[in-house]
Amino acid sequence: MGTPIQQLFDLSGRTALVTGGSRGLGLQIAEALGEAGAKVMLTSRKAADLEEAAAHLSARGIDARWIAADAASPDDVQRVCTETLERLGPVDILVNNAGAAWAAPAEDHPLAAWDKLMNLNVRSLFVFSQAIAKLSMIPRRQGRIINLASIAGIAGNPPDMKTIAYNTSKGAVVNFTRALAAEWGAHGINVNAIAPGFFPSKMTEFTLAQHGTEMAERTPLQRLGDDDDLKGAALLFASDAGKHITGQILVVDGGVSCVIG
């Protein structure tokens, strides 16, 4: 007989570290993991946003803490990982969500902006994963890493959306996920990625203000993502229900990526 389905999705007794967890998609995922029973540590740069997010989660009955830090700083990453273990114990689930975007024509894209996106959107995933794996996951031979990619990492954009660095960084996240899954499966670590389409957030507010209605109309499901649409995917990858899934990129975009032209 198999395990009851409720037990497969239960995260009671587990700890999750969510980067970029103070708002948007990170906070949505933190909600899902916390409501399934996990203790949650949030990290992002701004203490005020983190305090508000932790209060929001606590009001939903979730054990939530926070640490302010810059995910682009390797020293800050190490501090967050060490302090999380000191305060909450071993980390079972790492959600690499911290990221940024920048729009500029490729021929004029500032090199400093390119480096900023690569450091935050790609390097921070490696540094967080390496630190948590060494401190918690490899010694215990178990762990779940969930990376936030994007449909922008799977294809190009319409000509008026000039986000060459962002697309490149998210493409790197896709193959980082596959390569790390192949290498760390021997340690009992599952590594997967969620690739969202367009969701309302601070990062997308400018684009959606200009093109939101048109984007929704071009989506097979005729809408953008909402405050619940990443929860099921995150819980699947984080829980025993997904224990035989690794190296996969799950697109959550309302069907945009299956439309040609």
List, by residue number, the catalytic residues: 166
SS3 42: strand
**Does residue 120 contact residue 71 with C-beta atoms inside 8 Å?**
yes
Q: Rounded to whole angstroms, how far apart are CA atoms 198 and 208?
A: 8
Q: Rounded to whole angstroms, how far apart are CA atoms 181 and 184?
A: 5
Place of tokens 């995910």: 71
What's the token pair of residue 103? 């729009």
Q: What type of residue is 169?
A: S
Q: How far is CA 74 from the centre of its chain?
A: 18
> Using CA atoms in the order 56, 147, 24, 61, what is the torsion angle rounded to 10 degrees?
-10
Query: Which residues on neighbouring strands pair with residue 66, listed in sequence order?
Result: 42
- Please name the residues in contact with 39: beta carbons below 8 A apart, sequence gap of 6 or more: 14, 15, 16, 63, 64, 65, 88
